[in-house]
Amino acid sequence: MKNTISRDIHDPAFLSGKPRPLGRGNRAVATAIMVALVLALALRIVASGAINWSITFGFFFHPAILDGLVMTLELTALSMIVGVLLGIALAVMAISRYPAVSAASALYVWIFRGTPLLVQLIFWFNIALVFPVVGIGAWQVSINSLVTPFAAALLGLGLNEAAYMAEIVRAGIKSVDSGQGEAAVSVGLNRRQVMNSVILPQALKVIIPPTANQTIGMLKNTSLVSVIGAQELLTKTEDIYARNFQVIELLIVASLWYLVLTTVASAFQFWLERRFGDSRAVEVIAGAQP
């Protein structure tokens, strides 16, 4: 800083205006290092010749891969539906006046959030070892025929998701000002009406963004069900590379599809958060101030 000139406020020749930010030079250096690292890694992978890219692109729209993709989407959607509905029920149970009911909810969350999802999936797949049949008398059904890999996957993913959704919904309910419930009971609404017509609609603003986050997580978590052979994207991918031994090429196919799904879901989440994230602020701006 040898050229720094010191002037006081009485000097008429002071420089006026917005100062230039420091650190422009550092930024260029950082950019150069990052570009060089990424290029070096990309060149290394391509130059090695170990990856046969034509196989990757050849299998990208393979019917089996697309079937697996559809199954992944189905599992994600159905598991989230199970998770959200059961999660709301668990959250309402958690704030029950009856200690046994809230304890049951806490026990559920403790077990399903406290054990690995992978373990839960294998557990549901093998549930017939504990309960071979359900039903009474003439209406007995073998659990083995009931719990297909798809059903076990749905049970495992949905019941696990419910534990996380319960916490999200509970936080949403708690975020609503207690005055809302008081106003609602003061005009004669019963408990169910207060929850359904006043509390939950206002809790949505807090519930929706993390739920979108959970959905993105679920898209990837469905890959875990490959261990029980539910025919989703990763299982289909594994089936193919078990026959042609092009392991990395096919894992890249699966990874690219997961990236496509999560990118689309993230864009949807961005839209959702703008729509619901801070609706009050949006309304104040949009509404004519009287």
Q: Which residues bind another protein (CB under 8 A)?
A: 177, 179-180, 182-191, 193, 197-198, 201-202, 280, 283-284, 287-290
Q: How far is the CB of 188 from another protein (least distance, A)?
A: 3
CA dihedral for 186, 192, 195, 196, sign (positive or negative): negative
DSSP single-letter state for residue 21: P
Which H or E element spans position 17?
none
Nearer to another protein, 202 or 255 (CB): 202
What residue type is assigned to position 126 of the chain? Answer: N
Question: Count of H helices and E strands in the chain?
Answer: 13, 2
Q: How far is CA 215 from the centre of its chain?
A: 3
Among 182, 164, 144, CA closest to 82: 164
Minimum distance, C-beta of residue 207 to another protein, in the bound complex (Å) = 13
CB of 269 to another protein, least distance (A): 21
Report the nearest approach of another protein to the CB of residue 103 (Å). Answer: 21
Q: How far is the CB of 109 from another protein (least distance, A)?
A: 26
Cβ closest to another protein, residue 175 vs residue 266: 175
Nearest approach in angstroms of CB 173 to another protein is: 14
Q: Which is nearer to another protein, 119 or 284 (CB)?
A: 284
C-alpha R_g of the chain: 28
Distance, in Å, from the CA atom of 52 to the CA atom of 64, rounded to the nearest integer, reads 20
Give the integer Cα–Cα distance in Å for 32 and 184: 61
Count Cα atoms within 13 angstroms, Cβ side, for 32: 6
**Measured from the CB atom, is 2 or 97 closer to another protein?**
97
> CB-wise, 157 or 194, nearer to another protein?
194
Nearer to another protein, 115 or 175 (CB): 175
